[in-house]
Amino acid sequence: MCNHTERLVYTNAVIKETLRLYPPVWMTARDAIQEGELGGYRLSAGVSLALSPWVAHRDPRWFADPDTFRPKRWLDGSLEGLPKYAYFPFGGSPRLCMGATLAKLALVLVIATVARRYRLTLAAGAKVTPFAAASFLIPQGVRLMPTARS
């Protein structure tokens, strides 16, 4: 990200926490290219593995109180030393989403612009629920009420 958006530290923490709880891709698959072992299990070459950011991001080994939205966890140093793929909302390695950098930049700019002018609250009776469509996660029931900031 460009230097200016990196200065929006809390905005970035909110985005990271949102992507932790609601990654855009909830599950992906990879094929083992060679024989090996994973977590004590023997894997043959060619076996397919399902990888889920949704599950990994809620693992209490890596995230205290994993189901709670707490952006400050990204600011308090408690996630220092987080294993490489404990957090991977856009995939990783050679298969990292090619639009990840642009998506994160757009999120920071839109959220900072809107939040500067409006306070958004969930509309009365609205209940946001994630819908797992193929490999994408789609939020349903999002109804927000904007209130102008003075």
Q: State residue 88's pLDDT score.
A: 95
State if pTM tops 0.75: yes
Can you give the pLDDT at residue 92? 86
The 10s digit of each residue's pLDDT in 31-65 is: 999 999 988 999 999 999 999 999 999 999 999 99
Q: In the chain, how many H helices and how many E strands? A: 4, 8
Q: How many CB atoms lie within 10 A of CB 91?
A: 19
User: Do the beta carbons of residue 26 and residue 139 sit within 8 Å?
Assistant: no
- For residue 1, pLDDT over 70 is answered with no
